Amino acid sequence: MLEKVTDPRDPRGRIYRLSFLLAAAFVAVLAGAKNFAAIERQIADLSPLLLTKLGGTWCYFRQGFRLPGEKTIRILLNEIDPKELDRIFGAWLFRNARLDDDGLLVLAIDGKVLRGAWTDEHERFTLFSAMIHDLGVTVAQVAVPADTNEITQVENLLDVLPVDDERAVLVTMDAAHTQRDTAEHIAGKRGFDYIVTIKGNQPTLQRAVRKAMIPVLSSGDPEHDVTERGHGRINRWQAWTTNAKKIDFPHLKRIAAIRRDTWELDGTWISKEIALIGTSDPSMPAHEFHEHVRKHWGIENKCHYVRDTVWREDAHQARTKHGPQNMAALRNAANSSLRIAGYTNITATTEWISRDRTRALRLLATLCNNDDVK
């Protein structure tokens, strides 16, 4: 797979194969490397067996493997085309996720600011990504230009998804993406379904949905009712749904209201909130509204939060050229491949791999052939 990445280096004087450098960097990140210098140190500790399998270069004069320094790694990751690397990693992860070909693919899309990185215009560097619900596998990522925001990048993100238009896809988004152009592109152009949260950034739509839901909320019991106890609280969710009727929003077919009440463990009531939700799926039941809305935030818990806590992404001040996005691509690939393999405690697993980096070999096995990443 990594042989498909375009090599930006001058052919003269190349010592290491590009696929070796990327594979070794990937193993280093799987072992917890947080920056370019840490990647160098991790590679320096790789065993001869692992270096051989990764395609390392043997030096007969030194009677040992040549090992890249921090400068080599940094320059390479600064120069590689991040769009291509994200696309190839996304196709590999999507294939390895072993999705049911007949099932619904549910994707959460959201942006993440890399607080340690800055653009040439001295603006915050933001990445916009798509993650498979439940699995926590990130299959697409694009950079947000400094002169705009993630709302304008939905089309670019969906265009690089490693899926064809024949697969049933549902895209979940937060309220910032409740935009007419976004809904039209997802449901109209791509033929996917969407779920959006409706808030005050669309006041006319919010008023229309609230007006349509009031008779439903007043008429009887909820269609879905679930109570959970955990984290020192008791939470109860109730959901009501109805047809969108003549509400003016592209492809909106069904709306829902989800009420959450929270109590202390002793029964003391704490709070109540009601969320208004809309979808282009005309037959979505109440329990699926509830399930998809809650699982949407897995992109924060399973992806963004993990990149910050395990790999200290916000503290990494990679600010040159494509370094921030390519390092994020390696972290996404590491986190996603661990989740595909069934590991949920990412911190403990990276520590486990760092004690014996040959343990990463099973994570490098691929199910996709060359046609999947062309």
348 and 245 within one domain: no
- Structural domains counted in the chain: 2
Q: What is the dihedral of CA 111, 113, 299, 40, to 10 degrees?
A: 130
Report the SS3 class of residue 91: helix
Q: Which of 253, 276, 303 is the last residue of a domain?
A: 303
Inside any domain, residue 177: yes
Residue % of the chain over a pLDDT of 70: 93
Q: Are 261 and 198 in contact (CB under 8 A)?
A: no
142 and 249 within one domain: yes
Inside any domain, residue 91: no
170 and 213 within one domain: yes
Q: Are 129 and 113 in contact (CB under 8 A)?
A: no
342 and 284 within one domain: no
State the DSSP string of 246-287.
T--STT--EEEEEEEEEEETTS-EEEEEEEEEEES-TT--HH
234 and 114 within one domain: yes
293 and 336 within one domain: no
215 and 168 within one domain: yes
140 and 27 within one domain: no
**pLDDT (tens digit per residue) in 240-255:** 999 998 899 999 999 9
Q: How confident is the model at residue 121 (pLDDT cuts 50, 70, 90)?
A: low
The Cα 184–Cα 248 span in angstroms is 12
Residues β-bridged to residue 306? none
Give me the CATH number covering residue 286. 3.90.350.10
The Cα 360–Cα 344 span in angstroms is 16
State the DSSP string of 25-85.
HHHHHHTT--SHHHHHHHHHT--HHHHHHHTPPEETTTTEE----HHHHHHHHHHS-HHHH
Token pair 């509204």: residue: 289
What is the per-residue pLDDT for 312? 86
Q: Is a pLDDT exceeding 50 seen at residue 368? A: no
Q: How confident is the model at residue 367 (pLDDT cuts 50, 70, 90)?
A: low
348 and 238 within one domain: no
Boundaries of domain holding 61: 2-83+322-368
What is the per-residue pLDDT for 102? 59
**pLDDT (tens digit per residue) in 30-81:** 999 999 999 999 999 999 989 999 998 887 877 788 899 999 999 999 999 9
Q: Is a pLDDT exceeding 60 seen at residue 371? A: no
Inside any domain, residue 164: yes
Residue % of the chain over a pLDDT of 90: 60
Inside any domain, residue 373: no
Inside any domain, residue 313: no
257 and 159 within one domain: yes
Average pLDDT (176-189) is 93
**pLDDT (tens digit per residue) in 259-310:** 999 998 888 888 899 999 999 999 999 999 999 999 998 888 898 899 989 9
350 and 277 within one domain: no
Q: How confident is the model at residue 374 (pLDDT cuts 50, 70, 90)?
A: very low
What is the per-residue pLDDT for 321? 82
Q: How confident is the model at residue 85 (pLDDT cuts 50, 70, 90)?
A: very high
118 and 232 within one domain: yes
**pLDDT (tens digit per residue) in 190-248:** 999 999 999 999 999 999 999 999 999 888 789 999 998 888 899 999 999 999 988 99
Poorest-confidence range of 127-136, 147-156, 338-347, 348-357? Answer: 147-156
Tokens of 304: 């963004």
Using a cut of 0.85, tell me whether the model's pTM lies above it.
Answer: yes
Inside any domain, residue 309: no
